[in-house]
Structure 1
Amino acid sequence: MQKTLPDQPRAPDTALPNNAASVSWADTLRVYLEAPTLRMLLLGFSAGLPLLLVFGTLSFWLREAGIDRTTIGFLSWVGLAYAFKWVWAPLVDRLPIPLLTRLLGRRRSWLLLSQAVIMAALVNMALTDPQLALQPMVWGALAVAFASATQDIALDAFRIESADAKRQAALAASYQTGYRIAMIWAGAGVLWIAARAEVASVANYQHTAWQTAYLVMAASMLLGVATVLFSPEPAPRVLAPSRNVAEWLKSALVEPFADFLRRYGKQALLILALIAIYRISDVVMGIMANPFYVDMGYTKDEVAAVTKIYGVIMTLAGAFVGGALAMRLGVMRVLMLGAVLSAASNLLFAWLGTRGHDVTALIVVISADNLSSGIASAAFIAYLSSLTNVNYSATQYALFSSMMLLAPKFLAGYSGKYVDAFGYSHFFTATALLGLPVLLLVWLASKAKTPSSP
């Protein structure tokens, strides 16, 4: 039973432009070589690996197995587990795991437990053929999503508590780089492995190829496990024992949300609205990207090769540029840039739909999409981190990142029906237009005054 010490809020990073001149490029680059930043690269990989395996890559597998687009769209609601992680975030933030927490500490014990569940659930998915039984696949995907969301809760707190506010943009950029590399491995890597595992004499869908790929993904989680085991636990915050269960529940469940509302007042609604829709263009579009590739006639090898080479390069460039610009120019300016680029990249997918089977055009579109996503994500993670009070880091960050996904993933569930009714080009254009309100909210948030720290 615990209660928090007096508040120690971190003010939003919107003031960075005023201090940007004091930060040299040498200091900016040196941060990326520090141990906490390098650890975030590896842990970001662990966090990014499961997402596509229950989202985009899974949709490629299901479409190749003959599952219809409408069903694929509705199955994307598995990802809503990420949108409700704030419900159990207070438990991850404060509840110890018997024996494991005593050995590893609060953050690392939850990280290790969630990683173990992810690995087991991925093995379950690998052993299931969706053509024969779709329901076990859904249950396995739900388990991966739930455990992955739990890993995110613990990892976000671990990241925020691992460095001061000035280094959060660099940690966010490193984390995002690892995250995006993992997504490429869980996307292009799975396709490449599945293509290599196919029997050449069999032209139709082969479950054993996908089985091999998903087993390799389960083994890839060992990188995150090793990083957790060899990482130091962030300095624990001394929390006084609560007098009773009611006091503990208030401290764990109520105070994190009440603290945010107290600190930001009326601005809280504006901030929450921005968080809720900032990534809406990318998330809604993402579920239909792989079915789009399949229906356009691109092979697993073609999609894997393009995303593996150009996707990796542009992802690294985008995350680095986003983190560096956020440190020098301020998060809000880079948020605006990221919002514009994210919407524009969706229009490129609409253009790609008019090109037929054009690998060169695919290279251009995937490169632009990864660059824009890297810039937007690095700035957005730094912005979310700046909003948290370090006494409630896991719970508050979980609330923010959950809100980021709730509306987009709900809308994404209807993406298959929309494509069936209006076609891919119309769908991609509509997702780009969803990004217009984001520009207004970023502008309003940048004009709002930030609360001063006590």
Structure 2
Amino acid sequence: MHPAPDLAADLAAAPASRRQTMALFGLLGFSAGLPYYMFSTVLAARLTKHDVDLVLIGFFGWVQLLPTFKWTWAPLVDRFAIPGFSRFWGKRLGWIMLAQLGIVASMVAMAFTASDASLPLTALFAVLLAFWTTTLEVAADAWRIELGPTPETQGPLAAANLWGYRSAMVASGSGALIVADHASWTAAYLVIAAAAALALPLLATLKRDASGTGERWVAIGTGLVASAAILAAGVLLTAVVGWAVLAAAQAIGISAKTNATRAVLVIGLLPFVLLAAALPRIRRLHPDAPLRTSSLVAPYVDIFWRFGYAALPVLAFVSFYRMGDVLTLALSKPLEIAAGYDLTTMGVADGVIALPSSMVGVALGAWLAVKLRLPVALAIGAATSAVGNWIFVWLWYAAPSAFVIYSATALDQFAHGLEGAIFVVYLSMLVNPRWPAAQYAFLSGFAFLLPRLIAGAGGNIQRAIGWDGFFWLSGGLSLAAVLFLPVIARLRPREDAA
């Protein structure tokens, strides 16, 4: 990789009209949402059907922790460009195209290991799929924030992005389950991989200047060679790190019988303790201090310098706000299978029912974020999300029927679409425009750290309190986010006098 071109190249690749820009971010949301269920909900259903222990299935939920740490490589997306792709299409779109290739390759690999005969191999390709999906989100989020710096401009873009994202999630989840039921899990993953590949030619047509066809093909060829090298390096690095992690886990005796709940809670609290200890020093930093000028750490230091101790309740709020969404995603499919539903019925619910419900929720959430004060909109989102979780308690006790699963799915998707749209706007308004990719990656990643840690221990929790207790708890944790609203509603970031 080489130093990134300036913002002009990114703007040249952006559509000229507002409608075209919304369509672009709808496509980017679709591209990021399509693979998400394939390493989360669909993978949980696949492992359940292969009789993998529920506690181990919960551990696979920790694959979703990878997006939580996207801030660790987000500065690379801001600082570097992909040879060929970025020179012609701009920095943001260059990374997006690389990530899309990584998504397709990882999904094909998951297709040909769909027997789950080797769980470490299944985990390897699930982690790679999560990594490239997250990288696409980092680049797309940075581009979205650059093009929409105010709530009025950000609301429509966030809605378009989430429409695409959530429609792809439910479409891939639905399609994969139905194909798996009538063909095989290998076929299911190949079908979704083919759908993901369709975005590449559409993205390659973006660019408004009059560059010749020859230059475009040179850019594509150079980009493909560079991408192949980067993807191969990613596989090797992930395999080495994964082997080390599994060896360490075996050495300390972690297995399906391990109760990880206490460790998860300690790990979840640790960042708050460390940040509280570091804040006094951060607040005293001068504008020219190395920690505020380094391209690697300055974006993150800036968050805590601007918000000070108020950053702690902000981070606590965002940690609880999406709790219900994440925990539902982790165990909803094992619950439905345990309740007696077949994959086709679940797939129809995730497609025909979930898609329109989610779209209505996203549209309403974006409208509320623009029309109401954000704290009020956030409170509505938290309450709606809680109800979306509690509906699964009814599903568990009700006799299996199409009406029950369709109703539960519709409310769940509506609720989490609504809260998700409001949440995206809120996080975008916290970001300093100087570092959109890094800061949004950190805030959105931190928001899912505690929920995904708890989701990984979901099998242990379900075993202790049952299916009904699990979903009562997850909804209650989402609702608890409103306790922080009186504090964050008064939050005003500090301005740099320099």
Bin of the TM-score, shorter chain as denominator length: 0.7 to 0.9
Q: Single out whichever of 276-285 and 390-399 deviates more from structure 2.
A: 276-285
TM-fit CA distance, 1:130: 3.5
Residue 402 (structure 1) aligned with residue 445 (structure 2): yes
Aligned to 1:204: none
**What is the one-letter code of the residue matched to 2:161?**
Y
TM-fit CA distance, 1:168: 0.3
Q: What is the CA–CA distance in structure 2 between the aligned matches of 1:225 and 1:248, rounded to whole Å?
A: 38
For each residue in 1:324-382, what CA deviation from the matched residue of structure 2 results, as whole angstroms up to 9, or x when unmatched? 12111133222111101111221111121111313212121111111111110001001
Aligned to 1:349: 392
TM-fit CA distance, 1:195: 2.6
Aligned to 2:174: 188
TM-fit CA distance, 1:158: 1.3
The partner residue of 1:66 within 36, 51, 59 is: 51
Change (3 A) 1:449 1:390: closer
Aligned to 1:138: 123
CA contact (8 A) 1:336 1:439 kept: yes
Unmatched runs of 5 consecutive residues or more in structure 2: 7-16, 209-288
Residue 337 (structure 1) aligned with residue 380 (structure 2): yes
Matches within 5 A, 1:30-429: 34-165=19-150, 166-197=152-183, 209-232=184-207, 250-429=293-472
Q: What is the CA–CA distance in structure 1 between the aligned matches of 2:290 and 2:388, rounded to whole Å?
A: 49
CA contact (8 A) 1:322 1:376 kept: yes
Q: What is the CA–CA distance in structure 2 between the aligned matches of 1:2 and 1:401, rounded to whole Å?
A: 26
CA contact (8 A) 1:2 1:251 kept: no
What secondary structure is seen at the aligned counterpart in 2 of 1:129? coil
CA contact (8 A) 1:66 1:131 kept: no
TM-fit CA distance, 1:140: 0.6
Q: Output the TM-score relative to the length of structure 1.
A: 0.84
CA contact (8 A) 2:116 2:122 kept: no
Q: Single out whichever of 367-376 and 164-173 deviates more from structure 2.
A: 164-173
CA contact (8 A) 1:77 1:410 kept: yes
Change (3 A) 1:227 1:159: farther
Aligned to 1:205: none
**What is the one-letter code of the residue matched to 1:67?**
V
CA contact (8 A) 2:101 2:197 kept: no
Q: Single out whichever of 404-413 and 184-193 deviates more from structure 2.
A: 184-193
TM-fit CA distance, 1:163: 2.7
Q: What is the CA–CA distance in structure 1 between the aligned matches of 2:116 and 2:132, rounded to whole Å?
A: 25
**What is the one-letter code of the residue matched to 1:119?**
V
Q: Single out whichever of 172-181 and 349-358 deviates more from structure 2.
A: 349-358
For each residue in 1:403-431, what CA deviation from the matched residue of structure 2 results, as whole angstroms up to 9, or x when unmatched? 01111111101111222233211111111
Change (3 A) 1:223 1:322: farther
Q: What is the CA–CA distance in structure 2 between the aligned matches of 1:420 and 1:274, rounded to whole Å?
A: 28
CA contact (8 A) 1:2 1:248 kept: no
Q: What is the CA–CA distance in structure 1 between the aligned matches of 2:440 and 2:397, rounded to whole Å?
A: 40
Change (3 A) 1:292 1:72: same
Q: Single out whichever of 219-228 and 332-341 deviates more from structure 2.
A: 219-228
CA contact (8 A) 1:91 1:252 kept: no
What secondary structure is seen at the aligned counterpart in 2 of 1:66? coil
CA contact (8 A) 1:326 1:334 kept: yes
Q: What is the CA–CA distance in structure 1 between the aligned matches of 2:313 and 2:295, rounded to whole Å?
A: 25
TM-fit CA distance, 1:226: 3.2
Aligned to 1:242: none
**What is the one-letter code of the residue matched to 1:408?**
P
Q: What is the CA–CA distance in structure 1 between the aligned matches of 2:379 and 2:493, rounded to whole Å?
A: 18
TM-fit CA distance, 1:435: 2.0
**What is the one-letter code of the residue matched to 2:193?**
A
Unmatched runs of 5 consecutive residues or more in structure 1: 6-31, 198-208, 234-245
Change (3 A) 1:152 1:434: same
Q: Single out whichever of 251-260 and 87-96 deviates more from structure 2.
A: 251-260
Change (3 A) 1:171 1:451: farther
Q: What is the CA–CA distance in structure 1 between the aligned matches of 2:85 and 2:356, rounded to whole Å?
A: 38
What secondary structure is seen at the aligned counterpart in 1 of 2:297? helix
For each residue in 1:90-130, what CA deviation from the matched residue of structure 2 results, as whole angstroms up to 9, or x when unmatched? 11111122333212211111111111111101000000134
**What is the one-letter code of the residue matched to 2:191?**
V
**What is the one-letter code of the residue matched to 1:344?**
V
Q: What is the CA–CA distance in structure 1 between the aligned matches of 2:465 and 2:302, rounded to whole Å?
A: 45
Q: What is the CA–CA distance in structure 2 between the aligned matches of 1:182 and 1:331, rounded to whole Å?
A: 27
For each residue in 1:292-351, what CA deviation from the matched residue of structure 2 results, as whole angstroms up to 9, or x when unmatched? 111111111111112212211111100111111211113322211110111122111112
TM-fit CA distance, 1:176: 0.6
TM-fit CA distance, 1:33: 6.4
TM-fit CA distance, 1:231: 3.3
TM-fit CA distance, 1:88: 0.8
Q: What is the CA–CA distance in structure 2 between the aligned matches of 1:160 and 1:139, rounded to whole Å?
A: 32
CA contact (8 A) 2:48 2:334 kept: yes
For each residue in 1:151-172, what CA deviation from the matched residue of structure 2 results, as whole angstroms up to 9, or x when unmatched? 1111110111123412101111
CA contact (8 A) 1:168 1:382 kept: yes
Change (3 A) 1:249 1:123: farther
**What is the one-letter code of the residue matched to 1:362?**
I
The partner residue of 2:491 within 431, 436, 448 is: 448
What secondary structure is seen at the aligned counterpart in 1 of 2:427? helix
CA contact (8 A) 1:184 1:308 kept: yes
